[in-house]
Amino acid sequence: MKTCLFSIIFFLTITISLFSCEADKHISVKVIDAITKKPVDSVFIKIKAGKNGDYHKNYKEGYTDTSGKFETNMMIGCSFGCYDIYVEYYRRGYENKIDFNITEGTVLLNPKSIKPE
């Protein structure tokens, strides 16, 4: 009886541990121009997840649509602490931007200043 009870507890512990190790993270941002407040299309977005300096555990990339929106889902490991998420934004004519653990909402991109020749 003790062996059976131990086996059940062991099985449940392992099962719960396996299911709690990852979570589906929804990422939804809208990129707008910081000055005009208009949507910025074709912004290249790179998402990296990890922890302790290793941010190559999970990776997604894509572009904003014509309304400045970008959405994706990714599995984020949570065993021994959830992963951090870096979201990088690149668009010609704008300053590059990197956000840390900000995965929803409105993102402001600053236009690059034009230097007179």
> Which domains are present in the chain?
23-109 (2.60.40.10)
Residue 30 in contact with residue 67, Cβ under 8 Å?
yes
pTM: 0.75
Per-residue model confidence as pLDDT tens digits over 89-105? 999 999 999 999 888 99
Helices (H) and strands (E) in the chain, counts: 1, 7
Amino acid identity of residue 54, one-letter, is D
Q: Which residues contact 12 (CB under 8 A, 6 or more apart)?
A: none
Per-residue model confidence as pLDDT tens digits over 5-44? 656 666 655 555 555 556 778 899 999 999 999 999 999 9
Q: 57-72 as b/e, with b when 16 or more CB fall inside 10 Å?
A: ebebeeebeeebebee
